[in-house]
């Protein structure tokens, strides 16, 4: 009797975790593929490039995914799901002031970047050249609007300076968070919590109402 393949927990379309193929599960394929997308660009990466990078045949990759676009979608969802969860948690914290909610989402955003740095890096580089990228950019715009609303609420509460545009503050604030992907390297002397503490203190000391 032949056993059915075990569903893979990554949720990649067409993916299964078959026994007897250690090191080639869908999670590993996704992780290594994101490495290559970030190194040479998604558009410039072919399935043949991915196969060479992974040390697999193209047919072995198709064992896990429907194609290159499935890998891109899974990677972007990983980053966006984490960012949206961070914002949702702050938005629903009714026991916190508007300023505390904003501080919380800044800290969580830094942690998301540290914990999901490869997929966040890929997200920040998409340009809308495919339906998958366009959908990701639409979700990013929604994230931006929700972040601006959190800034505006803190301004309305009198916690932040009112002489600065909430939209501009949000863009600069979270642009600073996003810039960490260019230089922060996990495993160094600065931990993710250190980074979140420093950035939050620096930003909010500068934004405090005078």
Q: Render pLDDT for 54-80 as a digit per residue (tens, 0 to 9).
A: 998 888 888 878 889 999 999 999 999
Q: Which CATH number, 3.30.420.40, 3.40.30.10, 3.40.190.290, 1.10.357.10, labels domain 69-207?
A: 1.10.357.10
Q: What is the pTM of this model?
A: 0.84
**Rounded Cα–Cα distance for residues 210 and 207 (Å):** 9
Specify the pLDDT at position 73. Answer: 97
Question: Which residues make Cβ contacts (< 8 Å) with residue 27, sequence separation at least 6?
Answer: 8, 9, 10
Buried b (16+ CB within 10 A) or exposed e, 101-129: bbbbbbbbbbbbbbebbbbbbbbeebeee
Classified by CATH at the fold level, domain 14-66 comes out as Arc Repressor Mutant, subunit A (1.10.10)
Contact criterion met (CB below 8 Å) for 113 and 177? yes
Residue 31: CB atoms within 10 Å: 14
């Amino acid at each position: 009797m032949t056993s059915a393949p075990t569903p893979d927990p990554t949720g990649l379309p067409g993916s299964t975790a078959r026994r007897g193929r250690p090191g080639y599960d869908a999670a590993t394929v996704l992780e290594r593929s994101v490495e290559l997308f970030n190194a040479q660009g998604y558009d410039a990466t072919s399935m043949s490039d991915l196969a060479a990078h992974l040390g697999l045949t193209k047919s072995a990759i198709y064992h896990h995914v429907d194609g290159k676009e499935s890998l891109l979608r899974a990677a972007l969802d990983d980053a966006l799901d984490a960012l949206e969860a961070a914002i949702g948690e702050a938005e629903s914290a009714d026991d916190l002031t508007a300023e505390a909610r904003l501080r919380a989402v800044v800290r969580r955003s830094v942690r998301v970047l540290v914990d999901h740095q490869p997929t966040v890096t890929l997200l920040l580089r998409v340009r809308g050249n495919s339906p998958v990228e366009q959908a990701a950019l639409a979700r990013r715009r929604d994230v931006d609007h929700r972040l601006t609303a959190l800034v505006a609420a803190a301004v309305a509460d009198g916690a932040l300076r009112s002489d600065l545009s909430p939209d501009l503050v949000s863009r600069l604030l979270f642009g600073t968070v996003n810039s960490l992907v260019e230089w922060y390297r996990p495993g160094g002397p600065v931990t993710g919590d250190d980074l979140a503490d420093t950035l939050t203190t620096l930003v909010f000391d500068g934004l405090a109402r005078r």
